[in-house]
Amino acid sequence: MKCDAVFEGGGIKGIGFAGAIAALEEAGYTFENVAGTSAGAIAACLVASGYTGQGMSEALRGVDYRKFPQRPVSLSGPLGSLAHLTARLGLYRSDFFAAWLDELLAQKRVRVFGDLRTSRLDVRYRYRCQVIACDVSTADMLVLPRDAARFGLDPDVFSVTLAVRMSMSIPFYYEPCRLRDAQGAEHLIVDGGLLSGYPVWLLDDDSANPPWPTFGFKFTDGEQQGPARIRGLGDYGKAVANTLLDGHDRYYLQHVRGDAARTIHIPTTVRTAGGNRTIHATDFDLTHAEGQALYDNGYHAAQAFLQTWNFEVWKRLHRSNQAKGALLS
């Protein structure tokens, strides 16, 4: 059985995707087209390159997550961090991450998006993997590799690792990536989650009878229940940031018919011998046991989802001509 997949952003929480992917593979699904933002972009490019859920898990277990945020060795202390942030617009570099991903992709003989090209003419499916990033210089969302053409670059030879690196460059945490357009103007590219952390709509073919399902993979737990308590500037800043990152996608998920029903929700609270812990995007101090528990969360969430999933029923409810008309009205 074929399926498409869209993976939400979520930093280190992306370990949970490997478990969910493994559960779908055990159920007989194979992935045709994939897309993602930030951590979801990592999962998407690995799946598109031929990694299984188990293979992805093994690759993730073999890396020291603490090296992902790479602090420049020449700067230390608060003043050094402030100086680097001011000069480079981010506290950390992502060179270690890029080298790690390059090596994983090389094992599958993937380097550029041309290695993931399909025979389809429709731009939505020309490449097996698509990655969401954000151009803060023009306030535009980028869908890579197709939007590489905006910068005079050939999408076929655009680096997969570079696209993923752009997508996971959390503003102020990681240095932004920089590209120049055909006129020589510099653009700063950052985490696609600023504009769409969960682009579940990206792979839809807009027909009433899609040939196979698109599954979304999204994280839950620790989410705000009811209005946030805003007691000062710090709370206000956090609320504004959460709105910028999640507001658009949450509205889309709640109001576009059928999207919630095709979403696999992966809990991010893990239970280990040391107690419960809710994993956040930049918790790079994750232990092996916590990583395994997050993998298990994804696996069991996908299994539970598949127990009630019925593609024909979903199409009848959400993609019939009548339902499509209601969707577009």
Q: Evaluate the CA torsion angle 98, 291, 71, 197 in order and state its sign.
A: positive
- Give the pLDDT of residue 153: 93
Q: Which residues of the chain have pLDDT under 70?
A: 70, 72-88, 222-257, 321-329
Give the pTM.
0.86
- Give the pLDDT of residue 327: 45
Residues in the chain: 329
- Give the pLDDT of residue 80: 62
- Give the pLDDT of residue 283: 84
| Partner residues linked to 4 by β-bridges | 214
- Give the pLDDT of residue 234: 56
Kind and range of the H or E run holding 278: strand 275-278
- Give the pLDDT of residue 127: 96
CA distance 271 to 284: 17
CA distance 261 to 227: 25
What are the tokens at 111? 């380097």
User: What backbone phi and psi angles, to 5 degrees, belong to 210?
Assistant: -60, 145
- Give the pLDDT of residue 282: 81
Q: Is 191 annotated as catalytic?
A: yes
- Give the pLDDT of residue 236: 56
**How are beta strands 129-135 and 186-191 bridged, if at all?**
antiparallel
- Give the pLDDT of residue 108: 97
Annotated catalytic residue within 115, 135, 147, 191: 191
Alpha-carbon dihedral 291, 297, 302, 308, rounded to 10 degrees? 180
Q: Evaluate the CA torsion angle 124, 125, 130, 135 in order and state its sign.
A: negative
- Give the pLDDT of residue 76: 59
SS3 of 44, please? helix
- Give the pLDDT of residue 323: 44
Q: Are 128 and 141 in contact (CB under 8 A)?
A: no
CA distance 285 to 45: 24
Q: Are 92 and 173 in contact (CB under 8 A)?
A: yes
SS3 of 174, please? strand
Return the residue matching tokens 């293979």. Answer: 55
- Give the pLDDT of residue 193: 80
| Partner residues linked to 2 by β-bridges | 30
Over residues 237-259, the pLDDT tens digits come to 555 555 555 545 555 555 456 88
Annotated catalytic residue within 4, 38, 115, 135: 38
- Give the pLDDT of residue 275: 80
